[in-house]
Structure formats: C-alpha cells, structure tokens
Amino acid sequence: MSTYPKIILGIDPGYGRCGFGIIKGGGADFFCITHGVMTTKVGSEHKDRLLEIAEDFESIIDKYQPSILVIEELFFSKSTTTALKVAEVRGVIMMLAARSGLDVIEVKPNEVKMAVTGYGKADKIQMQEMIKTIFGFEEVPKPDDAADALAIAWTGAGMLKY
C-alpha cells in the first residue's frame, strides 16, 4: 500500500444512486475531500446504467487519484433482482479499481456500523450523526448514500497498517 497520506475512496454500491466519499490522511487523522452520489437515469436499460456508473467512477479516480478503494460487501435484502443488479455494479467498480491499480478493501455492513458507532446494529440516524461528528460537518451529509460511503471509507482507513 502507498505511504502516508492516503487518499481513500469509499463506495456504497447501488445502481440508481451509488454513494462515494473521499477522505485523506493517515492513522486516526483523516478529513473529507468530497462526497456525493453517482446517479443513473431511471428507466434506462441496466447495461446503460452500468456504463454511466463506470464513466462516473473513472472520472472520480482521474480527478482525485485515490490509492485505496473501500467498498461495502453485498447485503442480501428481500429482492434478489435488486441484489443481483447491485452485485453487477460492484463488479464493474472492482474491475475498474483493479485496472487503475487501486488496493481494494471489502467491508461488511456491520463492520461499518461497529467502526463508526461502536455498535454493530446502529441505525441510519446514529450512523449519520457520527459521520457528521467524525468529519466536523455542520449538517449530516446528504443524500444518505454519500454519508454511507464516507462511513465505508472511514472503516477501511481504520483497517490500514502503517
């Protein structure tokens, strides 16, 4: 892995909205560079949505030059169809990360909750308030996917060896 300071890109995968958060620093000292969502056009064919995400992801890599990607593992919900589409998004992102030479860290949803709040079953509001505190924001980052991506990046940063 690269040396200090590190630029870490956290991804909360989704095919309608894919959250991203970019943090920089080392040890316990990280700050937020930016956060947001990559969105795709509702009603578009899935292949076109994957292409939109791929292009947006490549733009983020080009602009911010992260060395590490932290991505949330898939959490199977009630809808198998949704889970499969999100898995395809993860595949596209992980392939592009590998092609760009990024180190990849995969984290489970409960690991993110534990790292950010100290409680593996924290709710969304608890998570958002802690992200607000960790990064010194005046408001909770919006939309939720962006806040989740920052939490994912923060979790990955805590797993790094210096």
Domains and CATH numbers, the chain: 6-158 (3.30.420.10)
Active-site residue identified among 56, 138, 145, 148: 145
pLDDT for residue 77 = 64
Question: Among this protein's residues, is 12 annotated catalytic?
Answer: yes
Q: How far apart are CA 115 and CA 142, in angstroms?
A: 20
Active-site residue identified among 52, 56, 72, 138: 72
Q: Compute how many other C-beta atoms are within 10 angstroms of the C-beta atom of residue 24.
A: 18
SS3 8: strand
SS3 105: strand
pLDDT of the chain, 162 residues: tens digit per residue: 446 789 999 999 999 999 999 999 987 789 999 999 999 999 999 999 999 999 999 999 999 999 999 999 987 667 788 889 999 999 999 999 999 999 999 999 999 999 999 998 999 999 999 999 999 999 999 999 999 999 999 999 999 876
Write down the pTM of the prediction: 0.94
pLDDT for residue 101 = 97
pLDDT for residue 1 = 45
Q: Is 123 annotated as a binding residue?
A: no
Going by C-alpha positions, the residue among 3, 8, 19 that lies closest to residue 158 is: 8
Question: Among this protein's residues, is 45 annotated catalytic?
Answer: no
Q: Is 148 annotated as a binding residue?
A: no
pLDDT for residue 58 = 98
Active-site residue identified among 12, 55, 62, 111: 12
Question: Among this protein's residues, is 29 annotated catalytic?
Answer: no
Q: Are the CB atoms for 46 and 88 separated by under 8 Å? A: yes
Q: Is 12 annotated as a binding residue?
A: yes
